[in-house]
Chain A
């Protein structure tokens, strides 16, 4: 349960973590107590001025807000796509997701680039461009050959973009790992199965598939939401090596 403390902003943890950890060790929280901790973490993100004077007036740069918007939009579109995919597949019809898929990748690329500090944006941009080119090459290959280059590149592109964007949120390292690990780790076996044409043969109900595929979109919504709320930008002093890094807005 103490992992939930990782949801709090770095400077908040620097001030209260030791005593809160001690309290939770003495009195492990019930389910309601855990939900109360999550609500408390959200409250701490929404009210940075309680810990850092003047923090409420800090606003993330236009670039980061754009990244947050792109992340939220990409997450919403992903959720819509996956819902449609599972429903259409389960009803035996076919659908073309090419355009929507590229829009999702584009939105998530914008999010990752916007969330990358300016001094590292060029390197990240080149990496994304190379992955995109390789992915494009993979797309034009015959269907039988697609899984070879497309699957690992899908993993690199989708996992990499989420990881890059999540690093900018100012969440603790443990919370970042949880967001990326769950958001990326759960859906992609399903994505690979779908790509290999195995989806109709999987002994899973559409509801199970949908919930597995949804988590990636939900991870993007969380990351985008935190960026729009100010993320690491309202917290000027990194409280720990895992704390947020302030970059001039």
Chain B
């Protein structure tokens, strides 16, 4: 999974948000959806949510816990946490680089 989430194609970005959402503890589908929407400011469709959950579960990035009522919580795994950290550090580096260049251009 060192290549990050890119192999998930159109599910890569939703998966990053979902991993970030699960970073502070297990959540079920509805809680993930609302949390992702508040993080990203974009609606997350139910089909996209479950397409991403299925892919992440298959790759061992998240794991399903025992359902409570009909709601099944998901938890980030060690591999998922590592992948999230790698992705976010890459984005932070990219962000620093871009901001440095903007500052340099404005001098």
Contact = CB atoms under 8 A, between A and B. Distances in A.
Interface of A: 12, 16, 18-24, 26-27, 29-30, 32-33, 35-41, 43-44, 49-51
Contacts of A37: 45-47
A122 B2 CA distance: 55
Contacts of B96: none
List of 5 A-B pairs having minimum Cβ-Cβ separation, nearest first = A40-B47, A36-B45, A36-B47, A22-B70, A50-B54
Contacts of A51: 54
Given A26-B30, A27-B30, A27-B33, A20 B54 contact: no
Given A20-B29, A27-B30, A44-B51, A33 B67 contact: no
A23 B30 contact: yes
A38 B47 contact: yes
A24 B46 contact: yes
Contacts of B58: 49-50
B55 interface: yes
Interface of B is mostly: helix
A22 B47 contact: no
A45 to B, nearest CB: 12
Nearest to A29: B46
B30 A20 contact: no
A39 B46 contact: no
B55 A50 contact: yes
B8 to A, nearest CB: 11
Contacts of B30: 22-23, 26-27
A21 B29 CA distance: 10
A32 B48 CA distance: 11
B46 A23 contact: yes
B70 A40 contact: no
Nearest to B57: A50
A30 to B, nearest CB: 8
B45 A22 contact: no
Contacts of B45: 29, 32-33, 35-37, 39-40
Contacts of A32: 43, 45
Given A19-B72, A29-B46, A33-B45, A40 B51 contact: yes
A40 to B, nearest CB: 2
Interface in B28-77: 28-30, 33-34, 43, 45-51, 53-55, 58, 67, 69-72
A23 B46 CA distance: 8
Contacts of A18: 67, 70, 72
A29 B44 CA distance: 10
A44 B55 CA distance: 11
B50 to A, nearest CB: 5
Given A40-B51, A50-B55, A20 B46 contact: yes
